[in-house]
Amino acid sequence: MDLDYDYLVVGSGFGGSVAALRLSQKGYKVLVVEQGRWFKSEQFPKTNWNLRKWLWVPFLRFYGFSRLKFFRHITVMAGAGVGGGSLVYANTLPVPRKEFYSTGSWTGLADWEKELAPYYETAAKMLGASTNPSFGPGDLALEELSKVIGKHDHFEPTRVAVFFGEKEKIVPDPYFDNEGPDREGCRFCGGCMVGCRYNAKNTLDKNYLYLAQKKGAEIWAKNRVDDVVPLGGNLEKNQGESGYMVRISPLGKFGLGKKRIFVKGVVFSGGVLGTIPLLLKLKKKSLPNLSDQVGYSVRTNNEALIGVVSRQKDKNFSEGVAIGSIVHTDSHSHLEPVRYSTGSGFFRLLMAPMLSGKNFGHRLLLLVWDFIRHPIDNARAYFVGNWANRVQIMLFMQTIDSRLRLRRGLFGMQTGIDYGVKPSAFIPEAQELAKGYAKIVNGKPLVLPTESLFGIPTTAHILGGACIGRNDKEGVVNTRNEVFNYKNLLVVDGSSISANPGVNPSLSITALAERAMDLIP
């Protein structure tokens, strides 16, 4: 049978974009299928109050680039669109500490720190990693907190995927010998996570995907992969040696316009919220020999997200890049201040006082008591004029491990406990640091009500579910990111991350994808 493409890549985030470029450079004919839409710089919303452009809720015909997904054990923030998580992430590109390379299901299968080192360099270069040159009020407050806790030596500016050229000046491509698009210098407006409207953020559509298209890769936006079927008969014995038939549906067309594409191989790169539900569906249907480990070892980076609303009217906390600084608070924990652009105050509708209690009833009483004791403070926190200018979100991350399981349920995807204690919304270190930061900025800490009342934590970095293992009893993919029991199927995204990095994982996903593609002939 004649094949339509050599490889079909499902998703265009940090894994899929690398696959699209590197496979195209090796002479393969590549198709990228992405559920989300294309965005030009001027199409991003001015603030996150423009829900139709900002949020991804397809059944409401909201085709934005920011996803909020609520589960029993975790609330997940993720990206959607051509460029995946790069459209909405905070640009930060740290390299994990040594513990990351020697824990989890990939332990002992390679010297991962040495193995990935050159790929981290390649990934940083491709993403245009630069040290943040300018601190905003939120960064300066974090520096002051680092002195208070005796960690000033561990405070530093972040490396971010931003072009720091001359403000408002458009210049020819500064990264790829004029092979890439023109760029404009950062305005330090804090709008990185609402979509960079000024062409300064190094999103994947400006590097990997841009160059992949020049090499012939095709990108189909607003399309969804429904099925992947090995060619040649008996599904129980078929390992895909002859290739695969992939069913694709256009989004929002009510079943019309479906296509069948024949390919040699498939690269699953839809992120945890895309890849794992699809693999679980395929295991029940057309890929029965997928490992039983699909959906296991899902990690949350052990995160806490706490908003501190300041009473200081003379400071604008939206100034700067989304995350401009970081402090390493102990051997396994990190703290970063996160900001949104001026006017982006949507999250004020989703906030409640930070607290901790033994159970729902206890926390409900504490919540009511907080409003009774501090009516003025709470009113100021909720009704402050320009919320984004007065709030700093504190992102706390740890390498400490806890693991969830994603599984298909009667009403969609569900979470369960895989190993250890369930992730907690009440991390004592995070809450103490938030209180210390609040003292410095004269503010009040707030969290999502799912945390205050139900104890469900929030993460912007969900990982795992299709981890690297020694065999199909210990993982879903091998050390080359190849799916066990099938030919030319790979998982190349955050789903294959097999340990808890404890820092923003985008650079690690990109480096692992670079390595996986380098191993393909």
pLDDT tens-digit profile of 7-34?
999 999 999 999 999 999 999 999 999 9
Q: How far apart are the first and last CA of the chain?
A: 22
281 closest CA partner among 158, 482, 270, 327: 270
* pLDDT of the residue at 255: 73
CB atoms within 10 A of CB 48: 23
Q: Considering Cα of 386, then 388, then 389, then 391, what sign does the dihedral take?
A: positive
The correct CATH number of 5-37+211-298+464-518 out of 3.40.800.20, 2.70.98.10, 3.60.70.12, 3.50.50.60 is 3.50.50.60
Distance from C-alpha of 467 to C-alpha of 401, rounded to nearest angstrom: 15
69-73 CB contacts, 8 Å cutoff, 24+ apart: 69/273, 70/450, 70/456, 71/413, 71/414, 71/415, 71/456, 72/414, 72/415, 72/416, 72/456, 73/404, 73/415, 73/416, 73/417, 73/422, 73/423, 73/456
Is residue 446 pLDDT above 90, yes or no? Answer: yes
Is residue 391 pLDDT above 70, yes or no? Answer: yes
- Span 60-83, pLDDT tens digits: 999 999 999 999 999 999 999 999
* pLDDT of the residue at 385: 84
- Considering only residues 11 and 423, tell me which one the structure prediction assigns the higher pLDDT: 11
Domain ranges of the chain: 5-37+211-298+464-518, 41-80+129-201+300-459
pLDDT band at 37 (very low <50, low <70, confident <90, very high): very high
Distance from C-alpha of 52 to C-alpha of 58, rounded to nearest angstrom: 10
pLDDT band at 497 (very low <50, low <70, confident <90, very high): very high
Helix orientation angle between 506-518 and 112-126, rounded to the nearest 10 degrees: 100
Is residue 1 pLDDT above 70, yes or no? Answer: no
- Span 112-129, pLDDT tens digits: 999 999 999 999 999 999
| Among the ranges given (144-153, 272-281, 353-362), the one the predictor scored with the smallest mean pLDDT | 353-362
Mean pLDDT of the 370-399 span: 90
* pLDDT of the residue at 168: 87
Distance from C-alpha of 470 to C-alpha of 312, rounded to nearest angstrom: 54
Question: Amino acid identity of 206?
Answer: K
Contact 333, 341 (CB under 8 A): no
Distance from C-alpha of 138 to C-alpha of 69, rounded to nearest angstrom: 28
Give the whole-number percent of the chain exceeding pLDDT 90: 83
Contact 289, 230 (CB under 8 A): no
Mean pLDDT of the 489-502 span: 95
**Active-site annotation, residues:** 461
* pLDDT of the residue at 154: 95
From the number of C-beta atoms within 10 Å of its C-beta (0-12, 13-18, 19+), residue 127 rates as buried
According to DSSP, the β-strands at 62-63 and 56-57 are: antiparallel
- Highest average pLDDT, of 249-258, 424-433, 450-459, 473-482, comes from 473-482
| Assigned token pair, 422 | 């369930």
Distance from C-alpha of 240 to C-alpha of 229, rounded to nearest angstrom: 8
- Considering only residues 233 and 136, tell me which one the structure prediction assigns the higher pLDDT: 136
Contact 309, 250 (CB under 8 A): no
pLDDT band at 326 (very low <50, low <70, confident <90, very high): very high
* pLDDT of the residue at 237: 87
Q: Considering Cα of 205, then 208, then 209, then 214, what sign does the dihedral take?
A: positive
